[in-house]
Amino acid sequence: MPKPNERAVQVQRRINRKLDRQFGVISRKQAHVAGLTRTQIQNKLRKEIWKIVLPGIYKVGGSPATREQKLMAAILWAGDGAVVSHRSSAWVWGLEGEFEDVIEIICPRDKRPPSGVIVHKRKLGSSESTHFGALPITTVARTLFDLASVIPIEDLLIARDDALRRRLTSWRRLHGQLDKTGQGQAGAKAFRVALAGDNMGESPLERRFLAMARKFRLPSLELQYPLKLKSGITIFIDFAFPQRRLAIEVEGFGVHGQQLRWQQDMNRENELTELQWRTLRFSREDLIRRPDKVAARIFACLGEDELRLSS
């Protein structure tokens, strides 16, 4: 059995691990589980080592009140099943748009929210939430569905296009989200509008690429291939040869000269490189005017010597 001093050191280590992972916040329940008594918690509050941020939730005194910290505090306060959602989720995912500094979560229980926290009572399916680091959060498809009820349709379309361009979701998953959540929930009508148009299945560029792949008899490939990056984010690659770790992406969303988007693309490709994946990007112009060169480039990366031209 550890001596009192050794036990205190072990308890503090457990507390520090929680604080480091949770942006400097911890719940009363977690502190008790780690080994702190009620009196010890009160002493930390009295000495301002810890400060109360929400009922039963504490932060390290003097630590900066970041948005991530506020979100984690809200999740800990709401309890099991709570996830970051709506505008807060869009901000965490880095979707394009102006998402004001609100703390917005989904919780499966009726809880009266403390000041500064917006709570939506919902029950999510297991496939509608994931994690972004330590934060439980709605998937990008679910985030866009929820955004439809709280932002103008014009802003929703901007966020949608950004998510698609960065392969954080796909048209199939967006349509599947509408089917999953049903027609009666808030935002369903606006979300349906966001899915209208030329997006039933593959985009025009994706269909053009598939036609080119058939013509030149490219090896079997996978569409909208999900790949989890080291950062914890799952992206969706337009076309992938998983056995060869080759990603093919066709560009049809947005202008890549903008600094933010260029940075996002660079970060994403760096993470793919860390996983030993190669990426080829082709434009609409490539697919229309130079399909033979596109096919030749892909065959070269696959280690194939000759194009298998159709008769």
CB 104 within 8 A of CB 88: yes
Beta strands in 28-151 (DSSP E): 50-54, 57-60, 83-84, 103-107, 117-121, 129-132, 135-138
Contact yes or no for 47/109 (Cβ under 8 A): no
Q: How many CA atoms lie within 13 A of 286 on its CB side?
A: 18
Q: What residue segments make up the domains of the chain, in order of their start? A: 4-60, 67-194, 204-302
pLDDT digits (tens, 9 = 90+) for 174-227: 989 988 886 667 788 888 888 875 444 456 677 788 888 988 999 999 988 889
Q: What is the pLDDT of residues 41-97, one digit of tens each?
A: 999 999 999 999 999 999 998 778 899 999 999 999 999 999 999 999 999 999 988
Q: Which residue from 146, 25, 55 is spatially nearest to 92, judged by alpha carbons? A: 146
Round the average pLDDT of the chain to a whole number and report it.
85
Rg (CA), the chain: 24
d(CA 227, CA 237) in angstroms, rounded, equals 7
Q: Give the type of residue at 291.
A: P
Q: Which two tokens stand for residue 236?
A: 């969706």
What is the C-alpha to C-alpha distance for residues 106 and 168, in angstroms, rounded to an integer? 21
* CB neighbour list of residue 92: distance below 8 Å, 6 or more residues apart: 68, 71, 84, 132, 135, 137
Strand partners, 281: 249
DSSP letters of 187-247? THHHHHHHT-SS-SSS-HHHHHHHHHHHHTTPPP-EEEEEEE-TTS-EEEEEEEEGGGTEE
Residues contacting 280, CB < 8 A, separation 6+? 246, 247, 248, 249, 297, 298, 301
Class of domain 204-302: alpha beta
Q: Residue 108 in contact with residue 59, Cβ under 8 Å?
A: no
Whether the per-residue pLDDT at 264 is higher than 70: the answer is: no
Highest-confidence segment of 229-238, 241-250, 298-307: 241-250
Query: Region 263-268: what's the mean pLDDT?
Result: 72
